[in-house]
Amino acid sequence: MSKWIKETFEVEIPDYPYSTKFDRKLTQEWTYEGPDEIICFAWKDNDLIDISYGYHDVAEDEEDKKAQWEYLVLHAGIPMYPARITFDKDPLLLSFIRQGNAPDEDEYLSKYIKNQKVFYWDGEEEVYPINEDSYVDHRYKDEDGRKGIEIIKKKPWMYTTTWPMLPSQLIETGYFLYDKEKEEVVKPYPKRKPQITTQEFLYVYYRMIDSINNFIDTKCPSMPPKKREPYVKYRDELVALQEKAEFYWDKPWMITFPQDPRQPRDDNYKIETFQVYDGPNHKLEVTPEVLQEAADSVNMTIPPYLRV
């Protein structure tokens, strides 16, 4: 294997996890530990590195290195060629590939992820050690005997992420354009993007309200008052979320939903990825008209700052 290094470098990070904005000029340090170079494969027709084909650590001995390169040229076949990625030129990408896909990934993360960053409903942020026992998972059973996990928080936050943020939170998995002459990846790397829009999120949010309204109208009348209370409470908390989460509606993937008593799960539930369909294999385009119709169906008013 090539030279083993342990280096810390600075990297620019988005304003919020998975955001596409960098207005706050935030940076963080990341510690890379591993070989100082690896070899991936790139397509000859477009010079795109395809990390799905894996990577190879580079041989240390010069003779072995030469033999390895010749082997990898043959192994790449007609459509591809081997491409070097070095720490000197691509520290973040090397961290992303090597530390994000290696068998000892968990060991890396436990060694270098010592803090977490939490985001509160009012927009404030705080960083403190993970080992502070800030929350505890414990098993529980609801009144119907269903098991789940509840997170007991010392202080109610809305969103939490590793700190520093992982390279996989900064770089979009996929293809990377390679400059054969410079032997480095073309910058900037494709940045990790949110997989939902505010409009799509709002549509699903209004449909969630519609779902619990229908449940209360059709199922709850025959229930004793005590058994009906959790569903009404959930509906009221869900409706109040539009105002409560005002600071985060431009980054809705961070918003935590109240616990749905019909679906026991941990109390940090979010809609981070989804597809909205209005028929088999047909993605629904959430137009202003579609969104307004969803809001009207639950007697909600779309605030001006949330309109398209």
Full 3-state SS string of the chain: CCCEEEEEEEEEECCCCCCCCCCCCEEEEEEEEEECEEEEEEECCCCEEEHHHCCEECCCCHHHHHHHHHHHHHHHCCCEEEEEEECCCCHHHHHHHHHHHCCCHHHHHHHHCCEEEEECCCCCEEEEEHHHCCEEEEEEECCCCCEEEEEEECCCCCEEEEECCCHHHCECCCEEEEECCCCEECCCCCECCCCCCHHHHHHHHHHHHHHHHHHHHHCHHHCCHHHHHHHHHHHHHHHHHHHHCHHHCCCHHHCCCCCCCCCCCCCCCCCCCCCCEEECCEECCCCHHHHHHHHHHCCCCCCHHHCC
| Predicted confidence (pLDDT) at residue 272 exceeds the cutoff of 90 | no
| Predicted confidence (pLDDT) at residue 273 exceeds the cutoff of 80 | no
Q: Average model confidence (pLDDT) for the chain? A: 86
Lowest mean pLDDT among 71-75, 170-174, 183-187: 170-174
How is the chain split into domains, by residue range? 4-113+164-185, 198-306
pLDDT band at 305 (very low <50, low <70, confident <90, very high): confident
Q: What is the pLDDT of residue 72?
A: 96
pLDDT, tens digit (0-9, with 9 covering 90-100), for 210-240: 999 999 999 999 999 999 999 999 999 999 9
pLDDT > 70 fraction of the chain, expressed in percent and rounded? 83
Q: Do the Cβ atoms of 99 and 108 come closer than 8 Å? A: yes
Q: What is the pLDDT of residue 150?
A: 55
The predicted model scores a pTM of 0.82
Lowest mean pLDDT among 117-126, 133-142, 199-208, 230-239: 133-142
Could you count the other beta carbons within 10 Å of the beta carbon of residue 180?
12
Q: What is the pLDDT of residue 100?
A: 66
**Regarding predicted confidence, which is higher, 77 or 195?**
77
Q: What is the pLDDT of residue 45?
A: 96
pLDDT, tens digit (0-9, with 9 covering 90-100), for 28-61: 999 999 999 999 999 999 999 999 999 999 998 8
**Regarding predicted confidence, which is higher, 125 or 2?**
125
Q: In degrees, to the nearest 5, what angle opens at C-alpha 213 toward C-alphas 288 and 252?
A: 45
Q: What is the pLDDT of residue 106?
A: 67
Q: Do the Cβ atoms of 49 and 83 come closer than 8 Å? A: yes
Q: What is the pLDDT of residue 14?
A: 95
Q: What is the pLDDT of residue 67?
A: 95
Q: What is the pLDDT of residue 142?
A: 58
Q: What is the pLDDT of residue 206?
A: 95
pLDDT > 90 fraction of the chain, expressed in percent and rounded? 58
| Predicted confidence (pLDDT) at residue 1 exceeds the cutoff of 80 | no
| Predicted confidence (pLDDT) at residue 110 exceeds the cutoff of 70 | yes
Q: Do the Cβ atoms of 161 and 142 come closer than 8 Å? A: no
User: Rounded mean pLDDT of 252-278?
Assistant: 74
Q: What is the pLDDT of residue 176?
A: 96
